[in-house]
Structure 1
């Protein structure tokens, strides 16, 4: 009995000790919140214990939590909090003694020398270990003024990257990373979102206007579909050295976009953002208001078609605007007076309103984020608008301790109406370089048609009523886009991860344009109107198998390895139909076509199979060597040439870690040398190996007709090759309060695939060949400094500089030039031995001393000659942020210096006499006092002949030299004044934090180019540097609000 009692007591004692034993071995919950120095919650911060391989990512409200398993919860551990663009912080905690609450406050990192960056294949690396040039921009830096196109927000912030806006709301953004790599092909960087390459294909933007079914409108580039509020970070891989693993499209650089993710807390976090800006044209021509419509000082209106005195003429060399009574389009004997604001008043004050709400949350095993956004843009041009709706859902699930699944679905719907044209024939400003200075646009707005329903206008020979164009000739477009991706990662051991990832980018684009009877540009005057329809479909799928290994071999040696394969399938199709004449008004259908419609049917497919690998080792955290290799097999190249291999190698040495004695010398706190060499191959566009047929609009009896394309195929094409070498130096001083990051590079692309012009007697206009070599050499620098920092007051300043010279080394044997585009006899060319983008046109005859050689007192045309080059000498940006407690002020200057442009606005503005400078020679009357042009006669004697102002300015037509300008400009690109509400105030609104800011974009432009905005582009093509009455980029003012409930 006693033995039984002892056993019972022992069991009770053991039972009593069990809770203590379990407590000693219990799991440890680590949680907290991460905020900025201003107290604002920070999302997407990685909080982890690296030695244990556990951690979490903060949600929108800055909260995080993770659990350390009981069997590993012993002793102390270091917890690290870090995010791209922020200074890393570390704290020590004790495990196994109950829950731990650990909060972090992270400061912005002005230095880009150390910390995390996103690199090729979406991997996160320590920047100190990279031997290539990579620059990151965080969401806070991107959304300072909230431009609807996230790529616009990079302007002036990344060295080596030239970004120009289209001047049209919702238009394309032209991005060049380290110059032009291809002579006639694609020069755009590759865009990758969360590891999935996406299309940046555009439609329109051709300045030739009516020659295409898109009629010269710019429908924007597809990258504008990305919601800026969903972007966590953008990393720019500059050129093939950094981006070699991405394959043939990496020669132009890669823009990596990382989106925001959910957290791990069961509490759902919410973030609300809203902005409202008002937009006006930033620059309009400087018009004269002394003389009205007509020629030779005469004008009298009868029918606007030449029935009166100069009333069919659309120039402004008519009578002086002195109030005399003259018959006009508004009625007989009307006061002849100027309307100084007739162009300015045509434009609306546009408005851009957008909002976004995001929900994020999760658990120890899951995380998710849902973001819903909307954008409404009422354009500066009457009856034009853009609408965008976005939805992004992403999440992850730890299926087991070793298997993780992720997925994302992004849907975007873009709708537009009356997107502006960008060409001379379709741009609205084309009309205003001919506009009579006496014309009252308010009358044209109030009366677009007469009592009989016919078009009402001031001139019927050359122009339509601009309001009638906007309201009776509607353009409507819709783009539906879906980007879906998923991955499954398996970690068999702690240092190896195998991932299968697949992503598809799909969009459908519909464009409908209707032209009422009387439309001078697009409708045959003998019929009742015209129309065109376009349907674009694009799909790209990328599937990868990726194995990553990261192994600490010793306490000083770390090895990293990557092995993978990729299958890329692309398909596009275009269907279009248009006619210049319909039978019955307002029925825009093929069955109503009076003129045989022009049909377009095109489809394209491409597949590229790839294998790639990379290996690197890091010794003692100061020396890293990495090598990569990739081989592609492309369906667009012939057997024998369709396989191409390209390697790269890079290395970095952190000198201050290798030689600690360097620290402190001259204030030096960090020094790193890096170097890299890379090769990248590129394939051809589809269907260049064999001749293909396309359908013809007409039939032969009942039989369909087909015709060969204009380009002769080449079955022996080889891949293009880009070779790049770069070196860099990174320095930090004063505990990295002053940092410098410099790069030198040399990039050459050979075996260019170009279409070479051939005699039309061959039945073709061109043939595809491998020929030509283009070289880019450049220097980049990024300087960051914190001039002042004390308590809650700080001033940070960043300046980036880059200079690139791209030169056409050679073309096809015997070929001197390739014309990239042209207008009014001026061209932009790729000329052998000269910088890429040469402007060529007619000069003005001069003698040996530079004097004009005149005939009849007027300048004379000289031969065709090189007039300049479109490439800037250098570009830069200066970004300053001032913080005073809860108040912050940010300002960004963006500058492009050097290069040339040719301006059609100025050429025709002088020819028509509408510009202010054309008053010269008619200060008293239309022919008084006249102009004596400085110069000499053909005999070398001084000119004494007086000519009229009209004759003088019209003599310069197609004398392009006069209208080629230095394209330099500096812009106040961004200005932001923000206020972070005190927490107590935010709490009264049931919010954790709230921020309000006044914002502005393109507020001021400094340039010597008269009458136009020197920043313009024509979609994403290589044909740049010629201005066709292009709309200026809008000046925007407004406010942003951000609330975290």
Structure 2
């Protein structure tokens, strides 16, 4: 009986232990939410158990979940939450005892020394293991003031990168990473979105005078198509060393854009953002309001074409604006008075409205995100509009435990209407430099045409009514763009992943422009108007096969390997037609052309095949050495020279891990040395190997006419070669509350592909050759500090500094200079032995003591001479963020110091007498009357000759030295005051979180350059440093709302 009882008790004990045994074999669901210190949900945070290889990515609402399989759910495990730009956190959980809820609060990481960064080919690496300079900017740091162009949001935030915005809304943005690498070729960085290279092609206006086909308009750069709300982070690979795996496209650095993705969750997360900003011109010229239109103090209007007294003149050296009655364009015997705000009132208060809604979600096997955005810009120029619609869908699917598929589709439609012209002859501001200060622009707005339907204006010799130009000469441009990509990844073993990835960037660009009869710039006065249209189609496809390996060879040695190949196909085609005259008004069609139309039609194709590989070894987490290699075969180079090999090597040593005794010395918490060497290059543009033909509109009888292009081809071209050496030191103090990241670099590009002038007797004007060398040396520093942190109050401060000097070492034998561009006899040049971007023009004659040598009392023109250089001495940014509980304040100062610019606005503003400084010497009140110019005669005696104010200021025409200025400026680039609503308040709005902020951009500029914004840009070309009646960057002020339901 006792034995029976023992057996029964044993059975009961086993039965009692069964639930515990079963529980130990059950899968464990780990879930939670990740928020910022202010309580705002954080998306794209990686939450994982690294030892088990399982995890998930948070969605828009900050939620995540993943499951640990039953057979692995034993004991305890460390869960790590990490995201680029945030401080990593780790927590320990117990597996196998039911679901686990684990929430994280992550603080912003002021330190850029450790953590994850995105590197070449889209790989995520530990920054402490990198031997090259890479800087990342997260979405929280980027989209603070909601500039529509995501690249503008990098200004002042990344060391070594110079970003110049365009005054034209929606215009091109010029980006230079570590200076100019190519003398006449492309100097723009490569842009890569989620591992797929995309185009940044665009149509920048011609600042020196427009053709009928482009009207000098700046249609912007294609990178502006990326919706800032879709960007998770941007990593900048600074120069060839970090970007070497991109081979022939790596010389100018790479901008890697990672978009937001969906995460694992039981419900669909939603995020809504909306912003509204109002825009005004930030800087306008300082005008005089004492004298009106005319010359020599005289004016009387008859027909605005010279029929009266100086009425065809477009200067303001006329009678004093004292209220006397004078015949004017508004009627006979009108009060002769100033209109001080006539230029200011021409500009509208622009408005930018944008909104975005994003949905994300997923499960253990799938994730997806859908984002829909819209942007409406009513420009500061009357009747100018920009509209953008974006849609991005991406997702992933775990087909099996070893196979994962991803896909993304991004569609963008950009529409512009009546974009203003830029530069001289076509820019709106050009006629506000040649201007009568008595002109009432309100009259021009109210009456754009006369009783016969013809142009109504104050002057009919040189200028169009600016309102008539915007309302009666319509322009419309539409860019439809599709970026599609997909990948299939196979993981045969835990440490190897093989991926096939393909992406295509395709866009179609249509530009239609119409010019009404009487347009003084773009239509023949004998005809009923003019028109032009352009059609651009561009496509780029990249297909990669990529094998990645990450293996712990021993407990202290880790191997990372990359092996891959790429096939790149690019094609472009352009066709356009324009005519300066049509027969019947308002019928803008080729069949109505009264003058033989000019036309353009061309296409180009390029293919590059590549293989590449990389291997890195990390010892004990403190020493890493990496080597990379890539070989490209380009269709644009001759068979004997179309293969080129690009190697690189880099290494890093974390000193504080190698020698632990260093920690604590002088407060040191982290120290790392790094160094790198790389060779990269650039191939030729298509069709430089063989001479090509271009067609004419005219015919010879019934036969078409063709002619060779002006450039003689060269079948022996070689790729440009860039060799770069880089070293760096990274330091952290006080548990990394103070960090310093410094870099020194030296890069030289040789075998430059340039067009060399040849004798016209050859039948050509230039020949493509390999010649020339340019060198860039520089220093960069990024300093981050947390001066104060206590409870919910924190102040973080980041300062970046960079200085680059680019020098043209040599050109072709016997060639001293290459002119990059110019206007009014002033040029920007690449001169052998001098810094790149030399401004050259006429100086003012001086004696040995620096006194002006005068003739007839006026300054004289000296010889052509070097007047300066466009490169800044240094650039920097100072970014501060203050947090007080739920309130945050952010301010960014962006500064460019040194360098020179030549200003046409100031030259002609003085010539025409519209600027405030030109009132000197006009009446008895000034020098009794006239001006005695300080200086000496040709005999060296002091000048005593009195000249008129008009003669004095007009004598400086093409004396460029007077109008070359120090281009230094500092801008209050960004200001943001935000408030995170308490959770209880947000819940009443049926939301988990809500944030509202006041935002401002370009609020203040400090500069010594008179009358203009020294930050100007017409396109992404190398022709910089010359200002042509440019539009100022707009000053923006508004608000932003972000809601997570």
Task: Give the TM-score band, short-chain normalised.
Answer: over 0.9
* 2:286 equivalent to 1:286: yes
Supply the distance in 2 between the matched residues of 1:442 and 1:505 (Cα, whole angstroms).
Answer: 46
Change (3 A) 1:746 1:1018: same
CA contact (8 A) 1:136 1:236 kept: yes
- 8 Å contact kept, 1:319–1:926: no
Does the Cα contact within 8 Å between 2:740 and 2:783 map onto a contact in 1?
Answer: yes
Pairwise CA distance, 1:10:
11
Q: CA shift at 1:205, angstroms?
A: 2.0
The TM-score normalised by the length of structure 1 is 0.99
Q: 1 CA distance for matches of 2:923 and 2:31? A: 78
| Contact 2:920 2:926 survives alignment (8 Å) | no
Give the 3 Å change call, closer, same or farther, for CA 127–453 of structure 1 in structure 2: same
The structural deviation recorded for 1:189 is: 0.1
In structure 2, the CA distance between the partners of 1:8 and 1:482, relative to structure 1 (3 Å rule), is farther
- Would the aligned equivalents of 2:261 and 2:360 in 1 still touch at CA under 8 Å? yes
| Offset at residue 246 of structure 1 (A) | 1.0
State whether residues 633 and 644 of structure 1, in contact with CA within 8 Å, keep that contact through their aligned partners in structure 2: yes
Partners of 2:237 and 2:72 in 1: how far apart?
39
- The residue aligned with 1:120 is 120
Q: Hey, what does 1:881 align to over in structure 2?
A: 881
In structure 2, distance between residues paired with 1:179 and 1:613: 28
2:991 counterpart of 1:991: yes
Q: CA deviation at 1:764?
A: 1.0
Q: Structure 1 residues 346 and 924 mapped into 2: Cα distance closer, same or farther (>3 Å)?
A: farther
Shift of 1:923: 4.6
The Cα offsets for residues 755-793 of structure 1, whole Å up to 9 and x where unpaired, read as 111122211111100000000000000000000000000
| Inter-CA distance 294–729: structure 2 relative to 1 (3 Å threshold) | same
**Residues 398 and 404 in structure 1, CA contact (< 8 A), matched pair in contact too:** yes
Moved more, 919-928 or 492-501: 919-928
Q: CA deviation at 1:1035?
A: 0.2
- Point out where structure 2 has 5 or more consecutive residues left out of the alignment: none
| Deviations 1:183-240 (CA, angstroms, capped at 9, x unpaired) | 0000000000000000000113221332361121100000000000000000000000
Q: Could you report, residue by residue, the CA deviation over 1:783-812 in whole angstroms, capped at 9, with x for unpaired residues? A: 000000000000000000000000000000
Can you list the C-alpha shifts for 1:859-880, whole angstroms capped at 9, x where unaligned? Answer: 0000000000000000000000
Alignment correspondent of 1:408 = 408
Work out the CA distance in 2 between the residues paired with 1:254 and 1:505: 17
Give the Cα–Cα distance (whole angstroms) in 2 for the partners of residues 363 and 11 of structure 1.
41
What is the rounded CA distance, in whole Å, between the counterparts of 2:835 and 2:928 in structure 1? Answer: 45
Distance 1:181 1:867 in 2: 23
Is this contact kept in 2: 1:663–1:670, CA < 8 A?
Answer: yes
Partner of 2:338: 338
Q: Distance in 2 between matches of 1:234 and 1:594?
A: 52
* 1:436 aligns to 2:432 (yes or no): no
Instruction: From the superposition, tell whether residues 16 and 303 of structure 1 become closer, same or farther in structure 2 (CA, over 3 Å).
Output: same
Partner Cα distance (1:166, 1:209) in 2: 17
Distance, in Å, in 2 between the alignment partners of 1:2 and 1:686 is: 98
For 1:35 and 1:112, locate their aligned partners in 2 and report how far apart those are by CA, in whole Å.
21
Specify whether residues 919 and 230 from structure 1 end up closer, same or farther in structure 2 by C-alpha distance, changes over 3 A only.
same
Q: Contact between 1:927 and 1:949, CA under 8 Å: does it hold in 2? A: no
SS of 1:209's equivalent in the other structure is: coil
Residue 894 of structure 1, CA deviation: 0.3
Pairwise CA distance, 1:927: 9.3
8 A contact 1:805–1:835 mirrored in 2:
yes
Partner of 2:137: 137
Q: Distance in 1 between matches of 2:254 and 2:212?
A: 31
Q: Is the 8 A contact 1:291 1:317 kept in 2?
A: yes
Preserved CA contact (<8 Å) 1:497 1:547: yes
Alpha-carbon shift at residue 44 of structure 1 (Å):
0.3
1:649 Cα offset (Å): 0.2
| Whole-angstrom distance in 1 between the partners of 2:949 and 2:259 | 59
Question: Conserved in 1, the CA contact under 8 Å of 2:486 and 2:503?
Answer: yes
- Does the CA-based 8 Å contact 2:830-2:837 persist in structure 1? yes
Give runs of ≥4 in structure 1 deviating > 6 Å.
1-17
Cα distance in structure 2, aligned partners of 1:412 and 1:503? 16
Post-superposition shift, 1:177? 0.1
Counterparts of 1:24 and 1:86, CA distance in 2: 35
Are 1:182 and 1:749, in contact at CA under 8 Å, matched by a contact in 2? yes
Q: Could you report, residue by residue, the CA deviation over 1:359-381 in whole angstroms, capped at 9, with x for unpaired residues?
A: 00000110000000000000000
User: Against the structure 1 CA distance between its residues 938 and 988, is the aligned structure 2 distance closer, same or farther, given a 3 Å change threshold?
Assistant: same
**1:698-724 alpha-carbon deviations (Å, 9 max, x no partner):** 111111111111110000001110000
Residue 450 (structure 1) shift: 0.7
SS of 2:742's partner is: strand
Using the alignment, how far apart are the partners of 2:567 and 2:709 within structure 1?
A: 29
CA distance in 1, matches of 2:55, 2:464: 65
> 1:83-136: per-residue Cα shift (whole Å, max 9, x none)?
000000001111111111111100000000000000000000000000000000
Deviations 1:898-925 (A, max 9, x none): 0000000000000000000000111547
Per-residue CA deviation, residues 669-712 of structure 1 (Å, 9 max, x unaligned), is 00000000000021100000001111111111111111111110
Q: Secondary structure at the match of 2:485?
A: strand
Q: Does 1:555 align with 2:555?
A: yes
Shift of 1:158: 0.2
Q: What does the per-residue CA deviation read over 1:215-273, in whole Å, with 9 as the maximum and x for residues that have no partner?
A: 21100000000000000000000000000001211100000000000011120000000
- Does the Cα contact within 8 Å between 1:448 and 1:467 map onto a contact in 2? yes
Aligned length: 1045
SS of match in other structure, 1:485: strand
Judged with a 3 Å threshold, the aligned counterparts in structure 2 of structure 1 residues 923 and 785 are, in CA distance, closer, same or farther, namely farther
**C-alpha contact 1:541 1:570 (8 A) present in aligned 2:** yes
SS of the counterpart of 2:544? strand
Measure the CA separation in 2 of the matches of 1:372 and 1:4.
Answer: 73
8 Å Cα contact 2:189-2:255 kept in structure 1: yes
Cα distance 1:587–1:928, how it changes in 2: closer, same or farther (>3 A)?
farther
Contact 2:212–2:578 (8 Å) recurs in 1 = no
1:108 aligns to what?
108
Structure 1 pair 3–585 and aligned structure 2 pair: CA distance change class (3 A): farther
Q: What is the match of residue 946 of structure 2?
A: 946
- The gaps in structure 1 that reach 5 residues or longer are none
- Structure 1 residues 639 and 303 mapped into 2: Cα distance closer, same or farther (>3 Å)? same
Deviations 1:541-596 (A, max 9, x none): 00000000000111111000000000000000000000011111111100000110
C-alpha distance in 2 between matches for 1:604 and 1:865: 40
The offset of 1:429, in angstroms, is 0.3
**Are the aligned partners of 1:296 and 1:926 in contact in 2 as well (CA < 8 Å)?**
no
Shift of 1:17: 6.6
Alpha-carbon contact 2:395-2:407 (below 8 Å) kept:
yes
Matched residue, 2:66 = 66
Displacement of 1:21 in angstroms is: 3.2
Q: Is the 8 A contact 1:366 1:398 kept in 2?
A: yes
SS in 2 for 1:5: helix
844-853 or 755-764, larger mean C-alpha shift: 755-764
Q: Secondary structure at the match of 1:220?
A: coil
The alpha carbon displacement at 1:3 in A equals 16
CA contact (8 A) 2:729 2:742 kept: yes
> Which deviations, in whole Å up to 9, do the C-alpha atoms of 1:612-642 show, x marking residues without a partner?
0000010000000000000000000001100
Cα 1:568–1:438 shift into 2, 3 Å: same
Q: Is the 8 A contact 1:204 1:215 kept in 2?
A: no
Q: Residues 885 and 10 of structure 1: is their aligned pair in 2 closer, same or farther, counting only changes over 3 Å?
A: closer
1:737-748 pair list within 5 angstroms: 737-748=737-748
Per the alignment, in what secondary structure is the counterpart of residue 1003 of structure 1?
A: coil
Contact 2:272–2:1044, Cα closer than 8 Å, also in 1: yes
Task: Tell whether the 8 Å contact from 1:571 to 1:605 is kept in structure 2 after alignment.
Answer: yes
Partner deviation per Cα, 1:1001-1043 (whole Å, 9 max, x = no partner): 0000000000000001121000000000000000000000000
Query: Which residue does the alignment assign to 1:500?
Result: 500
- CA drift at 1:425: 1.1
Contact between 2:208 and 2:822, CA under 8 Å: does it hold in 1?
no
8 Å contact from structure 1 (residues 926, 949) kept in 2:
no
Pairwise CA RMSD of aligned residues? 1.8
Does residue 302 of the first structure (1) align with residue 302 of the second (2)?
yes
CA distance in 2, matches of 1:788, 1:9: 65
Aligned to 2:152: 152
Specify whether residues 885 and 3 from structure 1 end up closer, same or farther in structure 2 by C-alpha distance, changes over 3 A only.
Answer: closer
3-state DSSP of counterpart to 2:1002: strand
- Whether the 8 Å CA contact 1:376–1:387 is kept in 2: the answer is yes
Structure 1 pair 95–580 and aligned structure 2 pair: CA distance change class (3 A) = same
